[in-house]
C-alpha cells in the first residue's frame, strides 16, 4: 500500500510531497499539467500587508519556516530557486509616507520596514515621494522549483493525467484508485477544488490574476518595486509585472482589458522602453477570511485537503504542509484559523 495519493502539483502538492520525502513515505501525484496559479505567481514570500501596515496571522513563524524549507529544497533539486529580497515600496501620496514612518518605528513591523527613506535609485523608476524598503523577505522561482522537483522525483512518483473521481473508491482503512491501494488521499487542486465532490461545499472564491512579462535591458534593476503593481526582476533583463484581482470572470484566459490596465500602471512607474514578451492569467483559490485550508474531511477520515493558497500561498505552504503531515501522522492539532473543520 502506498502512503499517500496527492491530487494536484502546484505549490501545495509540492510542499506536501516534500514533507513525505523528508519522512521517508512513498506517494503518487496526479496532475493534469494544466499549469495552475503557482506557475504564474511572482513567488514572493512576505508576511507584511503593505496596504494596511500590518502582519498576517503567524507571519514571523511562516517566514522563518519558509526560509529554511526553500533553502533545503534547493539542495534536493540541486538548483538555485530561492532568493533573499527586499521590496522597494513606492510612495505615491504623503499619507503613505506618514503611515510608513509610524509603522516602521513599532514592533512587529520594525523587523521588516526600514526607517530610512530613499528618493531615487534608478533614473527610469519614477517616485514623487520616494520609497521605503521592506526587508527580510524571499522570493522563489515557482516555475523552476516545480520543474526541478518534477525532474527529481521522476515518473515513478508522478502521473501527468487528469484525476478521475469515478475511479476512486474510499473505504474505512484504504483508498483504491486505478487498482492501486493508498493509505490517504490529499487534494491539492487549487481553484479546481470547486469540482471536487468531497470538498465542493467549501466557501472558495476565485480571484483571477493577470500578469505580463516584459523585457527591458535599459531598466537594469535587480530589486523588486511595488507601486500600484509589482515589478519583479526575473533574470535576463526580464521582469514579472502584475497583478490584478478580478472576482467576476468567465474563464481563466488572458484578457485585453487586463493587459491595458497592467500597461497603463506600468507606464506610470517606469519611463524606459520595454517589450511585452508574455501575458498570462490564472485563478487564485481564496477564502473570504483570507486564511488557508488544511485538514481532514469530516466524514472520510483518510481524505484530506490542502487549499486556499490564493492569499500568501508561497509564504504559508511550507509550514502548512508540515502541520498537515504532523496532524495525519502524529495527531498534531491544526490551529482552528486554517483548519477545514471551521467550515463544518
Q: Closer CB to ligand FAD, residue 292 or residue 302?
A: 292
Query: Contact, 306 vs 188, CB < 8 A?
Result: yes
Instruction: State which of residues 4, 5, 6, 11 lies at the interface with ligand FAD (CB under 6 A).
Output: 11
Interacting stretch for ligand FAD, rule CB under 6 A, among 168-176, 215-223, 259-267, 307-315?
307-315
Label each residue of the chain as H, E or C: CEEEEEECCCHHHHHHHHHHHHCCCCEEEEECCCCCHHHHCCCEECCEECCCCEECCCHHHHHHHHHHHHHHHHHHHCCCCEEEEEEEEECCCHHHHHHHHHHCCCCCHHHCEEEEEECCCCCCECCCCCEEEEEEEEEECHHHHHHHHHHHHCCCCEEECCCCHHHEEECCCCEEECCEEEEEEEECCHHHHHHCCCCCCCCEEEEEEEEEEEECCCCCCCCEEECCCEEEEEECCEEEEECCCECCCCCCCCCHHHHHHHHHHHHHHECCCCEEEEEEEEEEEEECCCCCEEEECCCCCCEEEEECCCCCHHHHHHHHHHHHHHHHHHCCCCCHHHEHHHHC
Closest approach, Cβ 120 to ligand FAD, in A, equals 26
Closest approach, Cβ 298 to ligand FAD, in A, equals 21
Instruction: State which of residues 6, 8, 231, 320 lies at the interface with ligand FAD (CB under 6 A).
Output: 8
Q: Closer CB to ligand FAD, residue 8 or residue 132?
A: 8
Q: Is 305 in the site for ligand FAD (CB under 6 A)?
A: no
Q: Is 310 in the site for ligand FAD (CB under 6 A)?
A: yes
- Would you give the binding string for ligand FAD spanning residues 278-297, x where CB under 6 A is met? ----x-xx------------
Closest approach, Cβ 17 to ligand FAD, in A, equals 11
Instruction: State which of residues 1, 23, 34, 337 lies at the interface with ligand FAD (CB under 6 A).
Output: 34
Query: Contact, 140 vs 314, CB < 8 A?
Result: yes
Q: Is 241 in the site for ligand FAD (CB under 6 A)?
A: no
Q: Is 147 in the site for ligand FAD (CB under 6 A)?
A: no
Instruction: State which of residues 16, 30, 69, 157 lies at the interface with ligand FAD (CB under 6 A).
Output: 30
- Return d(Cα 102, Cα 328) in angstroms, integer: 43
Interacting stretch for ligand FAD, rule CB under 6 A, among 117-125, 170-178, 182-190, 326-334?
182-190
Closest approach, Cβ 44 to ligand FAD, in A, equals 4
Q: Is 55 in the site for ligand FAD (CB under 6 A)?
A: no
Q: Is 36 in the site for ligand FAD (CB under 6 A)?
A: yes
Instruction: State which of residues 47, 209, 233, 295 lies at the interface with ligand FAD (CB under 6 A).
Output: 209
Q: Closer CB to ligand FAD, residue 52 or residue 116?
A: 52
Query: Contact, 155 vs 168, CB < 8 A?
Result: no
Q: Is 211 in the site for ligand FAD (CB under 6 A)?
A: yes
Chain residues binding ligand FAD by CB under 6 A are 7-13, 30-32, 34, 36-38, 40-45, 162-163, 188-190, 192, 209, 211, 242-243, 282, 284-285, 307, 309-310, 312-315
Amino acid at each position: 500500500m502506498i502512503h499517500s495519493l496527492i491530487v494536484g502539483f502546484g505549490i501545495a502538492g509540492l510542499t506536501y510531497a516534500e514533507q513525505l520525502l523528508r519522512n521517508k513515505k512513498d506517494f503518487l501525484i496526479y496532475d493534469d499539467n494544466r499549469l495552475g496559479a503557482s506557475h504564474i505567481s511572482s513567488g514572493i514570500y512576505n508576511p507584511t500587508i503593505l496596504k494596511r501596515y500590518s502582519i498576517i496571522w503567524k507571519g514571523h513563524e511562516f517566514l522563518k519556516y519558509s526560509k529554511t524549507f526553500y533553502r533545503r529544497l534547493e539542495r534536493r533539486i540541486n538548483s538555485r530557486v530561492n532568493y533573499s529580497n527586499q521590496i522597494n515600496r513606492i510612495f505615491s501620496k504623503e499619507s503613505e509616507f506618514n503611515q510608513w514612518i509610524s509603522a516602521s518605528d513599532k514592533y512587529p513591523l520594525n523587523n521588516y520596514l526600514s526607517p530610512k527613506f530613499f528618493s531615487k535609485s534608478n533614473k527610469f523608476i519614477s517616485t514623487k515621494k520616494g520609497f521605503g524598503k521592506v526587508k527580510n523577505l524571499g522570493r522563489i522561482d515557482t516555475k523552476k522549483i516545480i520543474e526541478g522537483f518534477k525532474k527529481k522525483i521522476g515518473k515513478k512518483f508522478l502521473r501527468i493525467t487528469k484525476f478521475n473521481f469515478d475511479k476512486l473508491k474510499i473505504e474505512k482503512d484504504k483508498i483504491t484508485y486505478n487498482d492501486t491501494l493508498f493509505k490517504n488521499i490529499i487534494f491539492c487542486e487549487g481553484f479546481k477544488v470547486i469540482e471536487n465532490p468531497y470538498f465542493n461545499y467549501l466557501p472558495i472564491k476565485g480571484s483571477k490574476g493577470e500578469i505580463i512579462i516584459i523585457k527591458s535591458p535599459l531598466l537594469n534593476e535587480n530589486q523588486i518595486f511595488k507601486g500600484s503593481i509589482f515589478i519583479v526582476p526575473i533574470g535576463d533583463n526580464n521582469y514579472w509585472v502584475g497583478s490584478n484581482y478580478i472576482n467576476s470572470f468567465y474563464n481563466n484566459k488572458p484578457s485585453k482589458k487586463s493587459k491595458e490596465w497592467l500597461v497603463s500602471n506600468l507606464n506610470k512607474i517606469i519611463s524606459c522602453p520595454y517589450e511585452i514578451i508574455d501575458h498570462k492569467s490564472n485563478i487564485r483559490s481564496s477564502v473570504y477570511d483570507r486564511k488557508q485550508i488544511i485538514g481532514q474531511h469530516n466524514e472520510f477520515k483518510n481524505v484530506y485537503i490542502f487549499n486556499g493558497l490564493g492569499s500568501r500561498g508561497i509564504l504559508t505552504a511550507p509550514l502548512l504542509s508540515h502541520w498537515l503531515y504532523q496532524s495525519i501522522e502524529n495527531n498534531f492539532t491544526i490551529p482552528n484559523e486554517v483548519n477545514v473543520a471551521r467550515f463544518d
